[in-house]
Chain A
């Protein structure tokens, strides 16, 4: 029998994988994708808790998370293209003008 605990466990695993990806990857676009993975894992946890409590509030919050994630991707990718245009690179290591 599939319980909400199953989905919470999967959400934890996916969240950790996304976090490790953010730490490891250096291509800024892939870092963004890992952030999206973490947001999706959070949504899964929200839906599992909503199912557990029998209310729909968790689903509304997940809906808002999706909207905010879409806005974040739009702005983030616009920043990325601007940086790429200026510096010809999408690596997070190359944008180091403000270091030191």
Chain B
């Protein structure tokens, strides 16, 4: 079995060149898009594109083991961790366009250009030779040779790495742990809190009474109006005004007595009492707004 990851021959060289340029353009475009995209989830997806193209490049560079580690660890684990945290921290989070530091973007762009020039000069002055003749260490024997290196010459750093991983795991548990400062609310308290919000029933489901049951279609109320309450504010693209956790529910007529109907106030009243710690339903998550 003489199959190797390292291609040889003139046709293979052309293939490698074409593959390199496709991947390079893809990676740079995705990286630029990651910096420019406003939504954090789009950034994560574009980062996945960059990482996968880099994984193929690792394979082209004679590192099949690291190419798979890149796919499994980076794209599989690290990026999924990013996405989990994004779901916790608020999927609707988009960067605001307002600059808090005046001229920050301009200066950052200038610094980036300066850095690019500097690094290009350094790399241009260095003598980067051609690739060494490809031996078995860049092909079939890559994994075993890497293992040999790790467990002989780099044994001590490798052991320290294990200590680092344990410390990181314990640190993450300590940091993400939350002490319960108040006793857990009982079911009776939860029920009382829910009745006190003025809406004891669950929120209407999206599109139940309309033509579609897609989650982004607002449900039709019996009087023909659309219930904005039935669509998650993340999907409808609206943001509640800051400080009013109940603003998602404000502003549309509700039949069976929303909070305003009981209060006797017009629907466009100012936001009412401050935010409840626990939202009566999972969808009306005032927690996600900022």
Contacts and interface: CB of A to CB of B under 8 A. Distances in A.
Given A54-B135, A88-B290, A25 B88 contact: no
Interface residues of A, number: 73
Nearest to B176: A78
Contacts of B69: 63, 66
A52 B129 contact: yes
Given A25-B95, A34-B35, A79-B175, A50 B130 contact: no
A98 interface: no
Interface string A64-86: 10111111111101111110110
Contacts of B215: none
B85 interface: yes
B108 A20 contact: yes
Nearest to A40: B54
Interface SS majority for chain B: helix
Contact of B131 (A33, A52, A56, A73): A52
A8 B105 CA distance: 27
Given A19-B115, A27-B40, A53-B132, A90 B66 contact: no
Given A47-B66, A51-B132, A73-B78, A15 B89 contact: no
Interface of A: 1-10, 12-21, 23-27, 29-30, 32-34, 36-37, 40, 43-44, 47-48, 50-57, 59-60, 62-64, 66-75, 77-82, 84-85, 88-91, 93
